[in-house]
Amino acid sequence: MKKTKIVATIGPATESKEVLEELIVAGVDVVRLNFSHGNYDQFSGLINNIKEIRSRLNKRVAIYQDLAGPKIRIGDFETETVELVPGEKITLTIRETPGTKSKVFINYPKLPSEVKVGDTIFLDDGKLDLKVVETNDVSVTCEIVSGGIIYGGRGVNLPNSELSIGCLTDKDRQDLEFGIQHDLDFVGLSFVRKPDDIEELRSILNDYDSKSKIIAKIETPQAVKNLDRIVEVADALMVARGDLAIEIPAEDVPIVQKRIIAKCKAQGKPVITATQMLESMIKSPVPTRAEVSDVANAIFDGTDAIMLSAETAIGQYPLEAVRIMSKVANKNEGAVVVQSHVSENQSTVTNSVTSSAIDTAEDLNAPLIIALTETGRTARMVARHHPHAPIMAIAEDETVCNQLTLTYGCFAYKVSDYQSLEDALKLVRKLAFDNQLAKAGDRVVIVAGAPFHTAGSTNMIIVETM
């Protein structure tokens, strides 16, 4: 049973209902809708199809809305491309004008006031490197350090600059309303810099009484600097290695990845490792050996989920990519070291109880851990230890069950109300037997809280012989 969750991005290669179903059967747990591309008619159709497929297959699949965020871009050139030559200069201007090899429009009005001489500016995902040599009220003049051919409309990264740009654009706010109307399980916030960015999104979700959980995408130096507080206020994190490797030195990314995952585990927050995991499978039916090792090492680091982006959105072999990822996860999860103590602060009752439950399950070689949970937190706090046994999470809320699909080793089941321990034990026995998660005579570990149906009351471990 695969415990590591697979997030797959849907695009032209996978948007048909038939391929969606094949992906889900192959092991996709969370479907990512990238709102940088597509329109509402397309997204409505995809959402309806996903909900119909998961209902018909009786397989829990979460839907994740990824907001585009504020992307700084250059304008178009007079010709399709221009060549920027090292040693020459180019001016980035906030005045709209057709671009040439010496001047091009940039869509961020505050750029001249927020960069300083000596700052680095990257164009086209880091392929071209500029250094700021002069600024005025309307433009920034740069020396070309690393040149090349560039098309108009390419992205701009400013790794040294403290930008005041917000995380939510007007388009993001409209997209968010669409997502709320369709009861999506997760919403991803791009280019997070500080905890306030997440709180702003949380406030909007609360205004609509939305249950969507926030995934904070870590892809800026400021986010790395503010990581502790971001982990505290977000519901989940993504190691967004694409932009992160442009904004910080690429050689620092593996260390930052391990740090992000460790911080998330300590807080019981799910974490996704993303970008270029099986990049060669966009065009090849088999991955490189390095890619297989990358996926496996993310699992060894303790990630909850691994993500496919272009591999499934536009790739030639989307189904094969999911199958390979599933195989790598299945093969390598057994080598993950179970840690009963992962928190930076073990002094809470929930931390203590869930840690003890892990020790008990490992000592008894229990085939199953059962978490009775109101909000999903009990299950996540158990799962952060990455136990060998799968976790059967029992909840009354459908959205909570869907959201636990992102959490390592968690398999959530919606139940009707139960009022007593005896009722709860009857429910879990039936579910465990029906889903072939345990058999008669097995000893399973149950984690719960009394009184029942009270968030944050985890205080009980039961060893039950089935």
Please indicate whether residue 73 is annotated as part of the active site. yes
Exposure string of 195-228, with b = 16+ CB inside 10 Å and e = fewer, is bebbeebbebbeeeebbbbbbbbbbbbbbbebbe
Catalytic residue among 17, 51, 71, 73: 73
CB-based contacts of 313, cutoff 8 Å, min separation 6: 9, 10, 11, 12, 13, 14, 34
Exposure string of 404-437, with b = 16+ CB inside 10 Å and e = fewer, is bbbbbbbbbbebeebeeeeebbebbbebbeeeeb
Handedness of CA 187, 193, 194, 196 (dihedral sign): negative
Angle at 257 between CA 252 and CA 260, to 5 degrees: 125
Catalytic residue among 5, 32, 54, 60: 32
User: What is the separation of C-alpha 90 from the centre of its chain, rounded to a whole number of angstroms?
Assistant: 36
CA atoms in the 13 A half-sphere facing the CB of 358 = 23
Catalytic residue among 60, 101, 213, 217: 217
First to last CA, the chain: 20
Phi, psi of 125 (to 5 degrees): 55, 35
Please indicate whether residue 259 is annotated as part of the active site. no
CA dist., res. 182 & res. 162, Å (int): 35
Place of tokens 């088999």: 286
Please indicate whether residue 154 is annotated as part of the active site. no
Q: Are the beta carbons of 299 and 263 closer than 8 angstroms?
A: no
Catalytic residue among 4, 273, 275, 360: 275
Please indicate whether residue 54 is annotated as part of the active site. no
Question: Annotated catalytic sites, by residue?
Answer: 32, 73, 217, 275
